[in-house]
Structure 1
Amino acid sequence: MLGITLLTQVRAGIWSSTLRQQSKIRDAAAHAKLSKSRWAGHVMRLNDHRWTRAVRDWTPRNVKRTTGRPPTRWSDFFAKSFKGRYNALRVP
């Protein structure tokens, strides 16, 4: 897009974030985190009778757990992100 090769970028000391700003391309990981946080805020504001909240808080009772480390929960991302900001963080 900008006509800058990786070799030129390294020699000139140009950061990838600078190239993203110049080409107006969003960082995929940052955009995914922002979208996830925005959607979580939307879900948190919903009433209790809504389907989305019921699915988020649902725990299967009749499913046998697999051996090994448990999979990362959806809420673990927020607990990790806000750990340093809030001491009394409550994530269901």
Structure 2
Amino acid sequence: MADAIAFTDTLLKYTIIISSIFIGVSLLLLLYRIFKGPTNPDRAVGLDTIGINLMALTGIIAIYLSTPYLNDVALLVGILGFLGTLATAKYVEKGVIIDRDMD
């Protein structure tokens, strides 16, 4: 039984390391897409995907630290990413974020 627990601890450790590396590489590639993206919608998709990757990285850190407190942080990052995506989509579509029409 002790061998099985040691194996799962080792497997979890290596999975967290590999996942963190892949998410880090993904974040670097997304930063490149944001700075060199040919169009504004490409940049918006890059920002949205960075938010999703930050949520995943927060979840991985929560698993590594064995704490449920970072789940609130992941939800907050998700909500802020969603609001940012809405604002960016409105800007790309209309050219303004807040309409000043008093009809």
TM-score if structure 2 supplies the norm length?
Answer: 0.31
Instruction: State the structure with bigger RCO (CA 8 A, min sep 6), 1 or 2.
Output: 2
The structure in which a higher percent of residues are helix is: 2
TM-score if structure 1 supplies the norm length?
Answer: 0.33
**Structure (1 or 2) with the larger CA radius of gyration:** 1
